[in-house]
Amino acid sequence: MHRVLSGIAPSGNFTLGNFLGALRHWVSFQDGHDAFYCVVDLHALTSDIDPAAVRANTLDAALNLLAIGLDPERCTLFVQSHVPEHTRLTWLLECTATMGELRRMTQFKDKGQGQEAVRVGLFTYPCLMAADILLYDASAVPVGDDQRQHLELTREVAVRFNNRYGETFTVPEAAIAGTGARVMDLQHPERKMSKSVDSPLGTIGLLDSDEEITRKVRKAVTDTDGEMRYDRAAKPGLANLLDLLAAATDRSPNEVAAGYERYGDLKNDVAAALCDLLRPVRERRARLESDLPYVHAVLSRGAAQAHEVASATYARAADAIGLLPAPPAT
């Protein structure tokens, strides 16, 4: 069975972008795959953080992942920092990647922009992400389009390590969805919808009410020529709405565009489709909130299962690179 791994940072409220670009595919990959999913809490530490918020967001993320339909009987769900091999392997990979490679990462440039003192962790986090993936011998990594470059780096680092120190890692492939792979901000359709960017009207939250979803879609920026056609470059706001309805109803954006003449009618149907899509998530989440011991038990079992796989891979990598095996604990 093919192994699948993916993670999400507890860096704020999950968005519709996270859901359409990645999370709903995580649910599908549970069938027919050996699926590992983690809340990558260490990735949430790369900016100015509030420790209480990191703690709360990590639990919140686990609740959301169960609410979208992850089933601990069909996948392994865990918190990244509970498996210490993630940071241990990161060091070996930091000693494999180059400064030039990391400097080329566009997310580092985007997220570091305007910051006076950019943290080292923000620069090196693609190595942590590579470790997240390589530890599990994942052959597929379901991610949104924004992670394509990081996946490419992971592949390059894995290949280099294998060539230099002997066959150690499985070289993974990105599994990037078609429609929904890049959901844009409803108010600023030139930038992606993001959980850590403050854009109250431009971001649809995973747990937004029907009223909030409808209000935001109705206010979404379009254009003034009124011409219904799918053109991401010339008509990014409209294209985003067409993409959303296409992703929610499993059609192509051009097919969706052919069914409308007026932007208002399209917006009504986008809002209705998104409400239908997210309502069950909200309902499941409400039920889970009353059973936090269950959520902690899932994470504890997940950490043990993940550790079993990750420790074997780490031992292989450490041996390949020339580290003496650690003496058995006394």
Cα distance between residue 129 and residue 43, in whole Å: 8
Closer residue to ligand AQP (CB): 10 or 318: 10
Cα distance between residue 284 and residue 297, in whole Å: 18
**Tokens encoding 2:** 């093919």
- Quick check: is 195 catalytic? yes
Give CA torsion, residues 172, 66, 19, 114, to 10 deg.
-80
Residue 237 engages ligand AQP in binding (rule: CB under 6 A): no
- The residues near 210 (Cβ < 8 Å, ≥ 6 apart) are 275, 279
- Quick check: is 219 catalytic? no
Considering only 157, 158, 183, 238, the residue that binds ligand AQP (CB under 6 A) is: 183
Closer residue to ligand AQP (CB): 131 or 143: 143
Cα distance between residue 147 and residue 22, in whole Å: 10
Helix (H, G, I), strand (E, B) or coil at 289: helix
Closer residue to ligand AQP (CB): 20 or 298: 20
- Quick check: is 111 catalytic? yes
Cα distance between residue 269 and residue 245, in whole Å: 8
Residue 240 engages ligand AQP in binding (rule: CB under 6 A): no
Q: Which residue number has the CB closest to ligand AQP?
A: 21
Residue 196 engages ligand AQP in binding (rule: CB under 6 A): yes
Residue 192 engages ligand AQP in binding (rule: CB under 6 A): yes
Considering only 33, 182, 216, 267, the residue that binds ligand AQP (CB under 6 A) is: 182
Q: Which of residues 118-177 bind ligand AQP (CB under 6 A)?
A: 143-144, 146-147
**Which x/- pattern over 254-273 shows residues binding ligand AQP (rule: CB under 6 A)?**
--------------------
Cα distance between residue 32 and residue 183, in whole Å: 27
